Structure formats: C-alpha cells, structure tokens
Amino acid sequence: MIRAVVFDLDGVLRHFDPALVAQIEERNGLAGGSIHAAAFEPTLLAAVTTGAIPREEWMLRVGAQLENFAAAAEWAAHPSVADERMLMLSDQLRASGIRTAILTNGTDTIPAELRELGIVTRVDAVFNSAEIGFAKPDVRAFQHVLDALRLKAHEVLFTDDSASKLVGAAALGMPTHHFTGIDGLREALRAAGLAVSA
C-alpha cells in the first residue's frame, strides 16, 4: 500500500520558462545553450547539489566559465512558477491521508525559494540534496527520505521528469513514475490504488 508520494521539484511542481534563457543568451551575445552547458557541467553541478559549494559560488563559477558575470546573474534571478494543478493534487493526496514530499537536487537557497512560491506549505516534507549531501539518483538520497518518513520502500512512490533520476529509487524497491504530465501521474496513482479525481 502506498502511504507517501514524493515529487521531484523542477519540471514537476515548478517550472522555468526556457524562452527566458534564450533571451538572456541573445542579449548577452552568447551561443544558444551555453548557459545550461556551463551551469550543468557535471562536476560543478554535483558540487552545488551536494552542498559542497553554495549557490552564490555556483553562479560566480558559471559567470567565469561564460566570461559574462552579468548573464550568469540574470539567469540566476530568472523566476520560476509553481504548478497549481500539481499542488492541488498534493492537497488532494494529503486530504486522503497520503503524505507528500519533495526530493530535489537543489541548492542552499531551496528553502527560501519554496517559501516564496508558497510550495512549502503544500507538502509534508522537503528533502534537498544540498542538505542531505547526496543527489539523485544516488540510492543514499532515497534511503534518507525513507528513513525520515519512517516508511518502507514499497510504501513510497517517487515521480521525476528525468527518467535517469528514477534509477536509485527503483534499486531500493520504490514504485516509480516517469513524469510527463499530470494526467499520466494521476493514472499511475490510481493504478497504485490511490483515489485521485481527474
């Protein structure tokens, strides 16, 4: 029986407008895709998402790589939007007695960001890789969640818009769902025996 649903954050409960990134690159004379290439370089990304460096240092290193600190600062400040339909689904699950939580490969500013967006009050717990010290798909990140929730792997369903991030959860025996939209997630929840409305 599923007793908790754990959501990824970006691409699931909140969204960024990719058009804004392209506009920042164009305004600053940068090649398309260069900001994400610099920001998500694996070694640097691992450092910030496991808490080895703060977000501020991450942005400075991105600016240095781009040789454009203004563009990095503008990208760092571009806004995200909470997905109200997904938050309503979380509300519905909680009302039916199912706990909900977030597991994000995030930075040290995630708590403030979730407060600002009003997301933190719509889930029962937030698990941030920068605080845990391990990032998805590391099984230790998922084990941390299970231990904190005091639930067994088969009792916790995890959904993420990146299929590669599901591997660690599946390795522990957690039911997983590759998120591509709310309708598909609702179907997966119903298939898992949870009563969710359309």
CA 179-41-49 angle, to 5 degrees, is 65
pTM of the model: 0.94
- 36, 64: one domain: yes
Residues 127 and 177 in one domain: yes
Q: Element (H or E) spanning 58, and its range?
A: helix 55-66
Task: Tell me: do 64 and 156 sit in the same domain.
Answer: no
Shared-domain flag, residues 185 and 133:
yes
Q: Quote the pLDDT of residue 198.
A: 65
The whole-number pLDDT of residue 195 equals 83
Q: Within this chain, do residues 103 and 70 fall inside the same structural domain, yes or no? A: no
Domain assignment present for residue 92? The answer is: yes
Does 150 reside within a domain?
Answer: yes
Which residues constitute the domain of residue 101? 4-15+81-191
For residues 146 and 49, membership in a common domain is answered with no
Task: Identify whether residues 121 and 33 lie together within a single domain.
Answer: no
Strand 125-128 versus strand 99-104 pairing type: parallel
The 10 Å CB-count burial string (b at 16+, else e) for 166-185 is: bebbeebebbbbebeebeeb
> Would 197 be classed as within a structural domain?
no
Residues 36, 94 share a domain:
no
Q: What is the pLDDT along the chain (198 residues), one digit of tens a residue?
A: 999 999 999 999 999 999 999 999 999 999 999 999 999 999 999 999 999 999 999 999 999 999 999 999 999 998 999 999 999 999 999 999 999 999 999 999 999 999 999 999 999 999 999 999 999 999 999 999 999 999 999 999 999 999 999 999 999 999 999 999 999 999 999 999 998 876
My answer on whether 141 and 166 are in the same domain is yes
**Domain ends where: 77, 105, 125?**
77
Residues 37 and 130 in one domain: no
Last residue of a domain, one of 35, 57, 77: 77
- Asked if residue 72 and residue 91 are part of one domain, the reply reads no
Total domain count for the chain? 2
